[in-house]
Amino acid sequence: MLDYERKHFKDISKIAGLDEAGRGCCAGPLVVACVIMPENYTNNQINDSKKLNPNKRKQLAKEILENAIDFSIVFIAAPEVDKLNPKQASKEGMFRCINNLKIKPNLVITDFEKIPNLSIKQVNLVKGDELSFNVACASILAKVSRDEYMINLGNKYPNFEFEKHKGYCTQLHNSKIKEFGIIQGEHRMTYKNVNQCLKIFINKHIKN
């Protein structure tokens, strides 16, 4: 049971948890989610999204959305991630998420990162998605939202098989860039592996 809020902030209502997905990917958006869950809502199955299988994440995401007091999901596209860098893009996404909420939280809990220029009290927890119920809920929403985006991208560009690697810097993904090049607006051009693989793709086509 993730009970950080109940242990440390039992007298505070409307606590927002934030987390992101896709920060380390070299293609696709960085997705940030923010959610305020009711204080009396419990679900022992909710955990850090990385510890759940895809079907369980989707099931729990549905339950979270049905029970949330308020939530917000922000997509930061690859070109903006390149412009800001992944760390700053995460902070910017969190700031936008909070501003998009209809209900103002009394406390914000993040997975480590501090949100700049935020007037609301915030707690920045190391491994927040393993300690805070609200952060774990946000982690699930962010991961499910991003996975759905990447699956749709895979349907649009079947050669890249995004549904398998979700845009992470895997051997399969690198091999696809070497074979097919990049997708403008989806691949992150500040990532070393993208440029190295793109160079191989270009050289191969120049020779041919």
Question: Where is the binding site for a divalent metal cation, in residues?
Answer: 19-20, 111
**CA gyration radius for the chain?**
18
- In the block, tokens 């800001």 appear at 84
Dist CA 118 CA 142 (whole Å) = 21
**Long-range CB pairs of 158-164, under 8 A, 24+ apart, other chains included:** 160/27, 162/27, 162/28
Annotate 12-60 with three-state secondary structure.
CCCEEEEEEECCCCCECCEEEEEEECCCCCCCCCCCCHHHCCHHHHHHH
Return binding residues: 19-20, 111
- The stretches of the chain forming alpha helices (DSSP H) are 4-8, 54-67, 78-84, 86-100, 133-156, 162-165, 171-180, 192-207
